[in-house]
Copies of this chain bind each other. A is one copy, B any other.
Amino acid sequence: MSFAPVPEQLAYLRKGFAEIIREEDLKERLEQYAKTGRPLRVKAGFDPTAPDLHLGHTVLLRKMKHFQDLGHTVIFLIGDMTGLIGDPTGRNTARPPMTRRNTDQNAETYKAQVFKILDPAKTEVRFNSDWLEPLKFEDVIRLCSKYTVARILERDDFAKRLKDGTPISLHELMYPLAQGFDSVQLECDVELGGTDQKFNLLVGRDLQRDSGQPPQIVATTPLLEGTDGVEKMSKSKGNYIGITEPPKVMFRKIMSISDELMWRYWELLTDVPLSGIAERKQREPMAVKMELARHIVADFHSAAEAQQAEDDFNREVRQGAEPADIQTVDFGSPGDLRVPQMLQHIGLAATRSEAERLIKAGAVEIDGARYTSMVFRAAAGTYTIRGGKKWKRVRVS
């Protein structure tokens, strides 16, 4: 792949980005790479509070992978300086700062997840505390002297908050600079981030120029819509697909998205080039969606598990085991829910004791998995519940 012609490489990299600043520069560096064999250094920064990643996070990871596919070095930068400081916005709630130990643990959690997509051999995992922690007052002043207030306040969210009278703490202005300083330290050729990071990524260009480095290319990924097709995928919205969710759940959630959203998922969540996606648009959508679900489940589990999930889906849903239209009922809010009460409330059992009997008999399934505990820790979202031969969907919000 690394010897593909530059225009072809560029097309592969361009797919799925919202914006590239500037594409000509990227082309030029790819040409240099073709000549010299020196891989590009491609950075993306991540929070030190290792989250359970969902597919929304993988849009960026996948673009990192695409650079790796072409032979480049990817820098997975953990912005642990932020974590060491703690969140200082609530001035009186002096939250205990994270320790380096927390951060290291989180880094391990991160690696376990991201190396499902990234190639560990072509990934540098770095911590920005390595160069930010030793900075002294004088260094920070020098760094800050390189940027004007007016320019920092151009950042959309700052401008809005200042206009609305929402407080911005002074230290917040320094994060874009710290992030730009990371690019200088790492001598990045490219920095990737969500569209909401565009301003911060551009600061890196300025600071690199100031340090005599060629300014990095900035490439932003769009925010992925959740399974509802409307809002940004987010755990709190209950419209997410977590990358550690069981194959069966993941498969089912993907099958629940609209045809329109499916094309977006093809673009942002697979390595299939645009030509391949165009070709699939000529085919029967349900089959293409099944292929997408298989694709994604295989990425985070295995091809065998993806096949199993598809078989289960076919048996339960398509062959009538699970009704095609199931009524949705609201119940409870995120947290520990009592399962018998829930079964009674949604009408899968007449009484609590009947519900308990069903559970003990193994006749209750939540999202296709048999459920024998009396308590269910629910996040916000919609769950498909079977109780004996009856089906309901429960919406927890």
A residues apposed to B, CB below 8 Å: 81, 84-85, 88-89, 91, 132-150, 152-153, 158, 162, 165, 167-174, 177-178, 210
Contacts and interface: CB of A to CB of B under 8 A. Distances in A.
A210 B174 CA distance: 21
Contacts of A177: 170
B170 A152 contact: yes
Contacts of A135: 136-137, 140
A140 B140 contact: yes
A174 B142 CA distance: 11
A147 B169 contact: yes
Looking at chain A's contact residues, is the secondary structure mostly helix, strand, loop, or mixed?
helix
A238 B162 CA distance: 43
Kindly report how many copies of this chain are found in the complex they form together: 2
A162 B150 CA distance: 7
Contacts of A142: 85, 88, 171
16 contacts: A81-B137, A81-B138, A91-B210, A132-B137, A133-B137, A137-B140, A140-B140, A143-B171, A144-B173, A148-B167, A148-B168, A149-B149, A149-B167, A149-B170, A150-B165, A170-B177
A174 B136 contact: no
Among A142, A169, A170, which residue has the most Cβ atoms of chain B within 10 A?
A: A170
Contact of A148 (B84, B148, B153, B169): B169
A150 B133 contact: no
Given A134-B136, A149-B162, A144 B168 contact: no
Contact of A84 (B138, B144, B146): B138
B138 A167 contact: no
Contacts of A132: 137
B174 A170 contact: yes
A88 to B, nearest CB: 4
Given A145-B169, A149-B172, 20 more contacts: A81-B138, A84-B138, A88-B141, A88-B142, A88-B145, A132-B137, A133-B137, A136-B137, A140-B171, A144-B171, A145-B170, A147-B169, A148-B167, A148-B168, A149-B158, A149-B167, A149-B168, A150-B167, A170-B173, A170-B177
Contacts of A172: 149
Contacts of A149: 149, 153, 158, 162, 167-170, 172-173
A276 to B, nearest CB: 47
Contacts of A158: 149
Contacts of A150: 162, 165, 167-168
A309 to B, nearest CB: 46
